[in-house]
C-alpha cells in the first residue's frame, strides 16, 4: 500500500461538488500552487442539490479517466461524503481509483463502526474530521484515538479539526479581531495536539474564515505550527500561498534537525546557544526534515540593521 505524508497536504481547498470548474483545478490548469483539495458533498451542498452534486462528481471522475488519470504534479484529491451511507455507495465506484481518499465528517466513537463498514476499499485513504461536542472531552478523545488505532489507523493521513462546527456547538462564531486561539478553540487545539498527537496522529488546522484580515491569518498560522499542526484548510485561493509559505522551515531549524539526526551526534550538545538532545528531539527533527521536503526552507528576513544599510545605500 502506498503512503501519503500529512505534510504534503499544505493548504487544503474545499470545493462544493456542484461547481463546474473542479476539473481544471484537478488537472493543474487552475491554482497550480495548490497541494490538496476536497470535493465536498456535505455542508457545502444543500439537500436539494445532493443528486446534482453526485452526478457532477461522477462526471468529474469520468473526465479524469478519459484523460488518462490525474497529473502527477496536481493536487491530492479527496471527497467528503455526506455521511457513512453515501460513503458506502462511493466506496464501490470503480472511478474512485482516481481519488486519494475520503474526508469523514463528524467522526465520533458512536459512528466509527458505521464508517469502518462503509469505507472498505483499502486504497482509499482517510481524513476523519473532529467536529462534534465529544471533541471537548479529553477522555472521549483518548478513547476515540485508541479505537482508530485498532481499526482505521493504517489508512489515516491526518485528523482534521473542524473549528466552525466546534464553535457552533457552543453557540459561538469566530471573533473577527482575534485568532482562533483566543476562543475556547484554543483549549481544544492544545488538548487535541497533546491527546491525539501523543498517539501518533497528525492534525490539520481549522479554517480561517476572514479574508479581510490577512495579518491575523499569519498570526494564527504561526500558532498552528507552534502546536505541531501540519496543514490548514483554505476557504479561498488567496490564502493558499500564505498557508504554504508559513509551513516552510527556517534554515536554523533545518540545520539543527540535521545535526540531531547525524549518527555521530553527541547525546547532548550546544547549537546556537540552545541545548540539543537527539534522543528527546528525534521526532521533532524528523518532522522538520519532512516539512522541508514538501515546503522548502523559509528565506531569512533581513534584520533591522540590514534594512537600514540598504536604505542608506539606496539614498546615495
- Sequential pLDDT tens for the chain (316 residues): 578 999 999 999 999 999 999 999 999 899 999 999 999 999 999 999 999 999 999 999 999 999 999 988 899 999 999 999 999 999 999 999 999 999 999 999 999 999 999 999 999 999 999 999 999 999 999 999 999 999 999 999 999 999 999 999 999 999 999 999 999 999 999 999 999 999 999 999 999 999 999 999 999 999 999 999 999 999 999 999 999 999 999 999 999 999 999 988 888 888 888 898 998 999 999 999 999 999 999 976 655 545 444 445 544 4
Widest pairwise Cα distance in the chain: 72
The per-residue pLDDT for 316 is 47
Read out DSSP for 99-122? --EEEETT--TTTHHHHHHH---T
pLDDT at 299: 76
* Per-residue model confidence (pLDDT) at position 162: 96
Pairing of strands 274-276, 269-271: antiparallel
Pseudo-torsion of CA 198, 181, 254, 287, nearest 10°? Answer: 20
Query: Using CA atoms, how far apart are residues 245 and 296, in angstroms rounded to an integer?
Result: 9
pLDDT at 310: 47
Alpha carbons 95 and 244: distance in angstroms, whole number: 30
Residue 314 is predicted with a pLDDT of 46
Distance set, CA 70 to CA 8, 95, 124, 202, 294 (Å)? 16, 12, 16, 26, 19
Q: What are phi and psi of 95, to 5 degrees?
A: -70, -10
pLDDT score recorded for residue 71: 86
For 182, residues 6+ apart whose C-beta sits below 8 A from its C-beta are: 175
Query: What's residue 301's pLDDT?
Result: 60
Q: What is the pLDDT of residue 305?
A: 47
Tracing cell 493504517 back to the chain, one arrives at: 154
| The pLDDT of residue 311 | 43
Tell which residue, 170, 181, 253, 189, has the closest CA to residue 217.
181
Query: Nearest-CA neighbor of 11 among 42, 38, 45?
Result: 38
pLDDT of residue 1: 57
Cell numbers 491530492 correspond to what residue?
76
Amino acid at each position: 500500500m502506498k503512503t501519503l505524508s500529512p505534510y504534503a497536504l499544505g493548504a487544503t481547498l474545499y470545493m462544493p461538488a456542484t461547481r463546474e470548474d473542479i476539473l481544471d483545478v484537478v488537472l493543474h490548469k487552475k491554482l497550480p500552487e495548490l497541494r490538496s483539495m476536497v470535493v465536498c458533498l456535505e455542508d457545502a451542498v444543500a439537500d436539494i442539490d445532493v443528486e446534482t452534486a453526485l452526478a457532477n462528481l461522477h462526471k468529474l471522475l469520468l473526465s479524469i479517466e478519459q484523460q488518462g488519470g490525474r497529473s502527477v504534479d496536481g493536487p491530492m484529491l479527496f471527497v467528503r461524503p455526506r455521511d457513512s451511507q453515501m460513503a458506502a455507495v462511493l466506496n464501490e465506484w470503480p472511478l474512485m481509483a482516481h481519488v486519494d481518499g475520503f474526508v469523514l465528517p463528524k467522526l465520533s466513537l458512536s459512528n466509527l463502526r458505521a464508517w469502518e463498514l462503509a469505507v472498505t476499499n483499502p486504497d482509499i485513504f482517510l481524513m476523519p474530521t473532529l467536529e462534534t461536542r465529544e471533541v471537548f472531552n479529553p477522555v472521549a478523545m483518548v478513547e476515540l484515538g485508541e479505537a482508530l488505532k485498532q481499526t482505521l489507523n493504517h489508512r489515516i493521513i491526518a485528523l482534521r479539526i473542524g473549528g466552525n462546527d466546534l464553535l457552533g456547538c457552543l453557540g459561538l462564531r469566530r471573533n473577527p479581531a482575534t485568532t482562533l486561539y483566543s476562543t475556547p478553540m484554543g483549549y481544544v487545539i492544545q488538548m487535541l495536539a497533546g491527546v491525539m498527537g501523543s498517539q501518533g496522529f497528525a492534525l490539520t488546522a481549522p479554517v480561517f474564515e476572514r479574508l479581510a484580515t490577512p495579518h491575523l491569518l499569519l498570526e494564527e498560522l504561526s500558532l498552528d505550527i507552534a502546536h505541531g499542526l501540519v496543514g490548514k484548510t483554505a476557504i479561498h485561493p488567496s490564502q493558499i500561498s500564505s498557508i504554504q509559505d508559513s509551513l516552510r522551515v527556517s534554515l536554523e531549524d533545518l540545520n539543527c534537525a540535521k545535526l540531531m539526526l547525524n549518527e555521530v551526534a553527541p547525546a547532548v550538545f550546544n547549537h546556537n546557544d540552545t541545548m540539543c538532545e537527539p534522543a528527546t528531539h528525534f521526532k521533532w527533527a524528523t518532522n522538520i526534515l519532512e516539512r522541508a521536503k514538501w515546503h522548502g526552507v523559509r528565506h531569512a528576513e533581513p534584520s533591522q540593521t540590514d534594512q537600514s544599510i540598504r536604505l542608506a545605500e539606496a539614498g546615495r
